[in-house]
């Protein structure tokens, strides 16, 4: 399904929909779960989800008697606002011919070597700069894709190694960048003491480690 940049901008202009997307980036959720986490009426949640699904940003699947909503693919929204250009583009990071570092370095050096004193030379340098922008954009999209692939592999390994559901959720939080017990508890609406217990258990198993930074205990996957 093709997604239009203007539609994305319109959807992201709503704070409630941004909060729903932030929640779904952590894990798939069903309607009453989203309602509970975000303090929104189920009817309002359904209305927002309907718009997100129609836009192709969110999808759903049934498991038992519940319908779970999730983000099915990775998209990057590029917004350029400058004195000489305004543009919004969507980058789908599923398939890219990624330029090599050597290619990018060669073009960058070429741009820097150009004296750009005449109209012709300035125009040539401009085109090289535009091409470099496109190449860096493709590189960013590729890295986003690879990041998601590594997260999926991490989740599969967590599923294989960790049997306790709460510990899996805590590991998921750490894999996605949460660092403290409080952050994990808040993100997943879990009791703080239970998160602490899970982290202590994972620490004993050698799966996580902790260190103190600025007087605060932070956790990371070992």
- The domain limits of the chain are 5-70, 94-145, 163-221
* In the chain, % of residues over pLDDT 90: 42
User: Residues 122-173: pLDDT tens digits?
Assistant: 888 888 888 888 888 888 888 888 888 888 898 889 989 999 999 999 998 9
Average pLDDT over residues 84-108: 74
| Residue 76 pLDDT | 82
pLDDT at 20 over 70: yes
pLDDT at 103 over 80: no
Q: Please, which residues have CB within 8 angstroms of residue 189's CB and are 6 or more apart in sequence? A: 36, 37
pLDDT at 102 over 90: no
- Tokens coding 50: 């309907």
CA distance 202 to 199: 5
pLDDT at 88 over 80: yes
Partnered with residue 66 across adjacent β-strands are: 63
* Number of residues in the chain: 222
Burial of 62 (0-12, 13-18, 19+ CB in 10 A): exposed
- The CATH architecture assigned to 5-70 reads Orthogonal Bundle (1.10)
- The CATH fold assigned to 163-221 is Arc Repressor Mutant, subunit A (1.10.10)
pLDDT at 202 over 90: yes
* In the chain, % of residues over pLDDT 70: 95
pTM score, whole prediction: 0.71
pLDDT at 51 over 60: yes
- Asked if domains 5-70 and 163-221 share a fold, the reply is yes
What is the average pLDDT value for the chain, to the nearest integer? 87
Residue 135 or residue 91, greater confidence: 135
């Amino acid at each position: 399904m093709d997604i239009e940049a203007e539609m994305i901008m319109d959807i992201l202009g709503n704070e409630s929909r941004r909060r729903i997307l932030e929640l779904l980036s952590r894990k798939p959720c069903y309607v009453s779960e989203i309602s509970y986490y975000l303090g929104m009426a189920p009817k309002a949640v359904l209305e927002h989800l309907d718009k997100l699904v129609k836009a192709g940003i969110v999808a759903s699947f049934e498991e038992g008697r519940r319908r779970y909503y999730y983000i099915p693919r990775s998209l990057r929204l590029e917004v350029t606002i400058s004195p000489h250009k305004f543009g919004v583009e969507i980058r789908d990071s599923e398939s890219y011919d990624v330029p090599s570092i050597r290619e990018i370095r060669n073009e960058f050096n070429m741009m820097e070597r150009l004296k750009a004193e005449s109209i012709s030379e300035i125009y040539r340098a401009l085109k090289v700069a535009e091409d470099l922008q496109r190449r860096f954009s493709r590189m960013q999209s590729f890295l986003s894709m690879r990041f998601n692939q590594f997260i999926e592999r991490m989740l599969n390994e967590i599923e294989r190694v960790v049997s306790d559901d709460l510990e899996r959720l805590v590991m998921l939080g750490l894999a996605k960048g949460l660092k403290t017990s409080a952050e994990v508890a808040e993100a997943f609406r879990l009791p703080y003491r239970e998160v602490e217990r899970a982290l202590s258990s994972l620490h004993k198993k050698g799966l996580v480690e902790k260190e103190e930074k600025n007087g605060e205990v932070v956790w990371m996957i070992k």
